[in-house]
Copies of this chain bind each other. A is one copy, B any other.
Amino acid sequence: MQKSKKKKRVLIYDEEGLSLLAKRLKEIRAEKGFTQEDLAYESDIALSQIARIETSRINPTVSTIFRIARTLDIPVSELFNFKFQKKQNI
C-alpha cells in the first residue's frame, strides 16, 4: 500500500439482531399497553433512548435492556426471543 490507509476500527454492530430486538420490544410494549413515554418514565430511561432502540439506531447495553424488562415485568429472554436468519457480517 502506498499511503497506508489507516484502518478505521469497526466496532461490533449487529444490524439483524438489533432490528429483531427493536421489533420484539415494540410488540411487547404495545401488548402491555405502554407508550414509549410510559416506559421511559417508569424505567427512568430517556424517551429519546427508547425511541432509538425501537428504531434500531443504536446498540444499547444489556443493563438498559434489563431495566426495560424489569419495568415491563417480563423475563429478559422474552425480548431476545427470536432467531437469526443471516450469517453475521463482520
Residues of A within 8 A of B (CB): 12-14, 17-18, 21, 44-45, 59-67, 70, 75-84, 88, 90
Inter-chain contacts of A21 with B (CB < 8 A): 62
Interchain CB contact (< 8 A) of A17 among B44, B76, B79, B80: B76
Q: Select A18's contact among B44, B62, B82, beta carbons within 8 Å.
A: B62
Closest 8 CB pairs of A and B: A17-B66, A77-B77, A14-B63, A14-B66, A76-B80, A77-B80, A12-B63, A59-B61
Q: Which residue in chain B gives the minimum CB-CB distance to A60?
A: B62
In the assembled complex, the Cα of A13 lies from the Cα of B77 at a distance in Å of 18
Q: Are A63 and B67 in contact (CB under 8 A)?
A: no
